[in-house]
Amino acid sequence: MDLHSFRPATELHPEPGDIIEFDRTLFSQWGIYVGDGDVVVIVGNDSIQSVPDVEIAHVERIPLIIAAGDHCCRVNNKLHRAKERNLLPFNNEIVVRKALSKVCFLFLSIP
């Protein structure tokens, strides 16, 4: 698949296991599309669109549209870069399983 330009999340049609690149103007944020309209992303404590602070960042599964916010995104599986380095990608099922295994589940206890 060729690398396409950034577009609104509503126009993106990723497959499970695709790497999603979010254009945040000054930086890119990355996520893994896991199906059902959701991505697994690393987020900061205060905002999905903030640069995560290592001490407070966590991994969440959220809707792609929420992750993108007002920014555009694209599928960027970095296939050309992998070929340059003679690397083979994991199959999509493994990528999704690994991404979902990193999701932090936060539970609040109510007395």
Whole-model pTM: value is: 0.80
Sign of CA dihedral 16, 48, 9, 63: positive
**Distances, alpha carbon 103 to alpha carbons 21, 45, 82, 94, in Å:** 18, 14, 25, 15
Averages of pLDDT over runs of 10 residues in the chain (111 residues) are 83 96 90 96 66 66 95 89 81 94 64 50
Residue pLDDT, tens place only, 53-76: 556 668 899 999 999 999 999 999
Q: List, in order of start, the domains of the chain with CATH numbers.
A: 9-101 (3.90.1720.10)
Backbone angles phi, psi at 98, to 5 degrees: -65, -40
Q: What is the pLDDT of residue 108?
A: 43
Q: To which residue do tokens 């549209």 refer?
A: 65
